[in-house]
Amino acid sequence: MNSIKALLSNLVSADDSHATAMKKAGLSLAIFAFISVFFVAITDKLTAGKIAENQAAMLLNALNEIAPQNSYDNDLIASKVIVNKTEFNKTKSNKSAIGFMNNTPVYLATKNGQAATAIFEVTTNKGYSGAITLLVGVSASSQTITGVRVVKHKETPGLGDKMEIKKTPPNKTPWVLDFNNKSLSKPELSAWNVKKDNGEFDQFTGATITPRAIVNAVKSTLLYAQDNMNALFTIEIQSNKTNQESN
């Protein structure tokens, strides 16, 4: 410790020639950079595991809001399938499904080896200011919505962000809960729009684009689920069976 101090004090002396001053300045900056990186690296090492754990717990919390814990008995986070975005967008009955930006992770909840709920983490770029990421839960048996939650967005504070349950005033019903138990036949496919586009869903005062983006994203997800639900679960259930047999 003392030798470092001595070295550092030596590096500050003012009566150096220009060349020596430059060398010393470079050296001392390098020493400080090394010390800083050392501390950042230590912190990263110490916290990495805990952070990953926290994020998994948060994801599980969000998923459990849509598929309650008693509705499935598999490891929800581990049973994740990634649907390629081009595949998602080109599904036959899904021509209207434009604007999905990323590959879509799908979390598959099963109970007693039977398909229960598929939770799609879709990201649409049709928001007012950039991407909106939603969790859309679809029941495997009835193809109805079990829940919709907005997890990430950059919509206008005070207007577009009313789709967050947390931002809903306490005396009002959160808007995203309107989706519960809806399906492609309830309402009719043509009514899967905001009221301004002759549909069934409310828009917000002063913000139509955000609800429109979300309604369309949910509709597209339902259309995709209608065609692919079985295929998604087949792989998952089979792999579970092989796991159990090998156990």
Residue type, 76: L
Which residue number, 101 or 159, has a Cβ lying nearer to other proteins?
159
Which residue number, 54 or 238, has a Cβ lying nearer to other proteins?
54
Binding window for other proteins (CB under 8 A); candidates: 18-26, 182-190, 212-220, 231-239:
18-26
x-or-dash pattern for other proteins, window 120-159, by CB under 8 A?
A: ------------------------------------xxxx
Taking the C-alpha atoms of residue 207 and residue 63, their distance in angstroms, rounded to an integer, is: 27
Q: Binding other proteins by CB under 8 A: which of 15, 39, 173, 245? A: 39
Taking the C-alpha atoms of residue 218 and residue 107, their distance in angstroms, rounded to an integer, is: 16
Separation of first and last alpha carbons in the chain:
56
Residue 208 and residue 128 in contact, taking contact as beta carbons nearer than 8 Å: no
Q: Least CB distance from residue 232 to other proteins, whole Å?
A: 30
Give the residues across from 138 on adjacent strands: 118, 145
Q: Least CB distance from residue 33 to other proteins, whole Å?
A: 6
Q: Binding other proteins by CB under 8 A: which of 46, 92, 173, 185? A: 46
Task: For the chain, state the CA radius of gyration.
Answer: 26
Other beta carbons within 10 Å of 107: 26
Q: What is residue 223's three-state secondary structure? A: helix
Q: Which two tokens stand for residue 243?
A: 């796991």
- Site size toward other proteins (CB under 8 A) is 37
Contact between 56 and other proteins by CB under 8 A: the answer reads: no
Taking the C-alpha atoms of residue 120 and residue 232, their distance in angstroms, rounded to an integer, is: 11
Summarize as ranges the residues that interact with other proteins (CB under 8 A): 5, 8-9, 11-12, 21-22, 24-25, 28-29, 32-33, 36-37, 39-40, 43-44, 46-47, 50-51, 54, 57-58, 156-159, 166-167, 169-171, 205-206
